[in-house]
Amino acid sequence: MDLAAVFLLSLLGGYYFAITWRLTAFSTKKADGHHLYFRAAVYGVILFAVALTLRVYLVGKYPSYAGFDSELSGYVPVLKEEAGAQAVDEIKRAQWVVTAAYSLVFGPIVALFLNLVTSR
């Protein structure tokens, strides 16, 4: 699988966020076509940035999390091997996949927390 296809996880997280959060749910359900795709992409990019920032912070702050993150990156079999790619490049690509998976998980979680503070 190409690394660009991995960002589909962030796109799905952004879509789920947009249809779950009360502030955006109505307009998202009314949108169709490109409008819906770009709305999900914008929220997916924001979720990916949050996931990347949180992951970098946790790796720097807690050494035990760095071990967990490297173990989790070792279980990523979805990347196709490139000719001439070094082991460091493969590890970085696996970390991008893990970050994209985090953004998929953050979509529903952040939407549920924002629904607690958003009026009906």
Number of domains in the chain: 1
Predicted TM-score (pTM) of this structure? 0.83
pLDDT by residue, tens only, the chain of 120 residues: 567 778 899 999 999 999 999 999 899 888 888 999 999 999 999 999 999 999 889 888 888 887 787 777 667 665 556 556 566 666 777 788 888 989 999 999 999 999 999 887
Name the residue range of residue 16's domain: 3-117
Instruction: Render the chain in DSSP notation, one character per residue.
Output: --HHHHTHHHHHHHHHHHHHSHHHHHHHHH--THHHHHHHHHHHHHHHHHHHHHHHHHHHH-HHHHHHHHHHHHT---SPP-TT--HHHHHHHHHHHHHHHHHHHHHHHHHHHHHHHS--
